[in-house]
Structure 1
């Protein structure tokens, strides 16, 4: 199968969609990103990479970082983690306060904002302070992407903190239910920092290979999590990785995936490859409009769906 040719076909087919939708303008630092950009990359288990468009250009990964913090928290706490954060689809917007209120401060899953804030809090507790937790998160991301230069965009992190009232509200609400252990502002600031990591589609497609290979990086042979934990993360990505459009994504694409409001989406083909697509203009649910279509075309053309 000529994966490069398939990616080139997809790029041509999604070109008319570029610019449809809108960028995440509620984060001022992301408001000025050109919405017509597109990049897509595939990394096979042996490290072979394919890419089209701006697959080498770094962008704000945003909620894709939640996959990495969930991995670290699951490794640290095991099933105990589920006492503080669920693993069910939310069916509500990613920043809903209402659901959190009537479910007594236990977020539905680790991929909505409230869930990722709890996961970040658990890592700060586990590693002893926010600095060590963030350094560990960054070290992990650099390890799995095999890219030591991966860093945080301080302007994006600052921009999110200055306009992060709802996320602070979510954290305060959970604190009132005793589901945040550390100081709210510290936790939310750490959360914003790992969301402000910048990576390219090719780096991200490489970074998720451990989830395509049962928790072990197939290139370095470093085991990060158990096969069972990898299976669980993929399951939560499939059912919860696209907020209230997760069912739609499973229906159309049929792969475990996670989106971010920076326009990136990672996806995993177990036993085969990691994929990342990036196009900044989002649909109404906050997922990349052209990116979602590109992944649907990819699974249709290749037959690489889990269904």
Structure 2
């Protein structure tokens, strides 16, 4: 599979490079720094469970991972308060835009899931408990560096500043939830954590490496024990499948069939349990805020490899055993 996979990754990257810029979608414009990114960029990285890495295109160029960071925030928050988190945020698909306030009013300030903006603000509020914002941001940054085994990962300060200066919808969400007591800190402190974590800058290679623990049933890929239990890893992956692409989650599950989490920076982190973690990046977004070429590339990858949580078990690249 390894040699075949190298060819598949290269072919998909070549096919995506041939797509005209006019058909790639438009970079997020409501965050000024993201609007500056070249829509012609495309990167793809696949990291197998045994550590083999296959990359193509702009896989080593750092980009703003935005909402993909919510996977890592959720993992940390569950480690801090466990299932107590679910008293403050739900686990159901939203069916609305990622920054919608509509459901919050109907559901008394409880966000539908941790991957929409309102839910991630609650998670950021949990991570802020007992810390100054700088400490909470540092803890999350160190966690991602630990997962990827790469201390060069940083927060893009220009993107964080751009979000802080223009994030009025998120400020509205935070203040609204503060009125219900769902958020317990001053909204500006929770927002500061959220904006800076969304501004994490990572390449496809780094992102795929950081997400590999979810493909390994929660084990650290460097043999450093468990990041989370196997059960928690599966539940995080389940949320990625059902909620990871906002109101496009159902279509992504239908077309791709593996858990994934998108970000408006144009990235997608996807996980094939027991097999691989995948990161793809193309800044142009579709109508619901997901990477146009990123989703297309993952659909092709799943089709050509047979990777899907809905398919019969595939052969493990480690020992040939069915998984």
Aligned counterpart, 1:31: 35
| 2:93 maps to 1:89 | yes
> Displacement of 1:48 after TM fit?
1.1
User: Which of 183, 187, 212 in structure 1 is aligned with 2:186?
Assistant: 183
Q: Which runs of 4+ in 1 moved over 6 A?
A: none
Contact 1:254 1:306 in 2 (8 A): yes
Unaligned runs of 5+ in 1: none
Matches within 5 A, 1:139-150: 139-150=142-153
Contact 2:120 2:194 in 1 (8 A): yes
Distance 1:5 1:49, change over 3 A: same
Q: CA deviation at 1:231?
A: 0.8
**Cα pair distance change 1:100/1:17, threshold 3 Å:** farther
Match of 2:233 among 230, 234, 238: 230
- Match for residue 296 of structure 1 among 296, 299, 305: 299
Deviations 1:104-125 (A, max 9, x none): 0000000000000000001111
Q: How far, CA to CA, are the matches of 1:107 and 1:18 in structure 2?
A: 38
Q: Normalized against structure 1, the TM-score is what?
A: 0.98
Deviation at 1:214, TM superposition (A): 1.1
Normalising by structure 2, we get a TM-score of 0.93
Q: Distance in 1 between matches of 2:184 and 2:227?
A: 26
**Does structure 1 residue 159 correspond to structure 2 residue 162?**
yes
> For residues 262 and 299 of structure 1, what CA distance do their matches in structure 2 show?
22
Question: Structure 1 residues 18, 107: closer, same or farther in 2, change over 3 A?
Answer: farther
SS class of match (1:17): coil
Match runs of 1:134-283 below 5 Å: 134-283=137-286
Q: What SS does the aligned partner of 2:55 have? A: strand
Q: 1 CA distance for matches of 2:79 and 2:200?
A: 21
Number of corresponding residues: 306
Which residue is equivalent to 2:319?
A: none
- Distance between the aligned counterparts of 2:147 and 2:20, measured in 1? 30
**Cα offset for 1:264?**
0.4
| Equivalence map 1:100-115=2 (5 Å) | 100-115=104-119
1:6 offset after TM fit, Å?
0.2
Distance 2:300 2:193 in 1: 36
* Counterparts of 2:155 and 2:87, CA distance in 1: 30
Aligned pair partner of 1:7 in 6, 9, 15: 9
Structure 2: runs of 5+ lacking an equivalent: 311-323
Distance 1:70 1:18, change over 3 A: farther
SS of the equivalent of 2:279 reads strand
Q: Structure 2 CA distance, aligned partners of 1:28 and 1:13? A: 29
Q: How does 1:121-140 map to 2 (within 5 A)?
A: 121-125=125-129, 127-140=130-143
- Deviations along 1:121-170, one digit per CA (max 9) or x if unpaired, are 01111x43322211110110000011011000111000001001000000
Q: Distance in 2 between matches of 1:21 and 1:294?
A: 14
Equivalent position SS for 2:278 = strand
The Cα of 1:260 is off from its aligned counterpart by: 0.4
For 1:164 and 1:41, the matched residues in 2 are separated by 31
Task: Provide the rounded CA distance (Å) in 2 between the counterparts of 1:56 and 1:259.
Answer: 18
